Structure 1
Amino acid sequence: METIKNGKVVSISYTLTNDKNEVLDQSQPNLPLEYLHGSYNIIPGLEKELEGLKVGDAKKVTVSPAEGYGELNNDLIFDAQRQNFPPDAPLEVGMQFQANGESGPMVIRIVNIEGDTVTVDGNHPLAGETLHFDVKVESLRDASQEEMDHGHVHGPGHHHH
């Protein structure tokens, strides 16, 4: 019986909840998430816990912020002036923009607007959250050489280069 290990294309259905048991994300019915195991396609804390499972296995996995989307970094929450945003953009809390950070492009999210001061957060929306996955392994196959070379899955619904 095949098990999940590096170089396998794994298909999982999952529900992701936070500590308050609110559903943050889930796979669509009959549309499992496919990823290439060992290529950092999914967060490390989840990938590590799936290692060795086989088709049909189900597991509940708790992932700490450090092994998920990182701890909350307060330095990434800051005030910007309205004139720094596109003049024609109607700004709303929750909107996301791409900005150039010190280490390259980053996504920032508006968390507050007060007059001309816009508070933005460059943390991943799930940073600082403990994540709870309820996962079931739906299928498993060997990755193609092309998938291994590219480090991600190809096929229906996936882009080709």
Structure 2
Amino acid sequence: MQQAKKGDKVKVHYHGKLTTGETFDSSEGRDPLPFEIGGGMVIKGFDDGVTGMTVGEKKTITIPADEAYGPVNPDMVIEMPKERLPQDMEVEVGMPLVMSDPQGQQFQVVVKEITDDKIVLDANHPLAGKDLVFDLELVEIEGGSPLIIMP
């Protein structure tokens, strides 16, 4: 049987959970996730987990934070004067917001704290610093070359 390897285009059903068991993403009810192994389309640990699987195979992998979204970076926590927010804007802790950097690039932040004069925003990925658990099922290796056995 053909094993998935770097450069293969594959389709995978997955169920992503935190180590607490809380689901953060799943392909259930959707088409399987298509990606190229080693193509940088998914996190490294996911690539590594699918590598070597055969079509129809199911397995569970645990991806440490450093092979997922990395550690929480304290430099990505931003304090901003509350007066910089639009005056009519109501914000609350946990609310996602979109900011722009000086080059106009947009990125998502989450409100972490609100005081009388400042707001604390976190630009880390929501899964940064977390170990992830994935239930995987390799559905297809696209364009897989047939095995030819010479006599």
Q: TM > 0.5 between the two? A: yes
Q: Which runs of 5+ in 2 are unaligned?
A: 145-151
- 1:131 CA drift (Å): 0.4
Aligned residue in 1 for 2:140: 139
Q: Secondary structure at the match of 1:83?
A: helix
Structure 2 partner of 1:51: 51
Letter in 2 for 1:54: T
Q: In structure 1, what is the Cα distance between the partners aligned to 2:102 and 2:73? A: 14
Percent of pairs with identical residues: 27
Query: Which amino acid in structure 2 is aligned with residue 92 of structure 1?
Result: E
**2:61 and 2:133 in contact (8 A); partners too:** yes
What pairs with 1:82-161 in structure 2 (closer than 5 Å)? 82-93=82-93, 94-100=95-101, 105-142=106-143
State the Cα distance separating 1:105 from its structure 2 match.
4.9
Q: CA deviation at 1:48?
A: 0.9
Name the CA distance, whole Å, in 2 between partners of 1:101 and 1:42. 28
Corresponding residue of 1:16 = 16
Rounded Cα–Cα distance in structure 1 between residues aligned with 2:12 and 2:139: 5
Measure how far apart 1:24 and its partner are: 1.2
Report the number of matched residues.
142
Looking at structure 2, the residues matched to 87 and 121 of structure 1 have their Cα atoms a distance apart, in angstroms, of 21
Deviations 1:112-143 (CA, angstroms, capped at 9, x unpaired): 22234111011110000000111111112039
After superposition, the C-alpha distances for 1:84-118 in whole angstroms (9 at most, x for unaligned) are: 3344543233213133179x654322122223411
Corresponding letter in the other structure for 1:119:
V
Q: Radius of gyration: which is bigger?
A: 2
SS in 1 for 2:52: coil
CA apart distance, 1:58: 0.8
What is residue 40 of structure 1 aligned with on the other side?
Answer: 40
Over 3 Å counting, the alpha-carbon distance change for 1:85 and 1:142 in structure 2 is farther
CA distance in 1, matches of 2:81, 2:49: 43
Structure-1 separation of matches of 2:84 and 2:2: 53
Gaps of 5+ in 1: 144-161
- Other-structure match for 1:65: 65
Work out the CA distance in 1 between the residues paired with 2:137 and 2:31: 12
TM-score, structure 2 normalization = 0.82
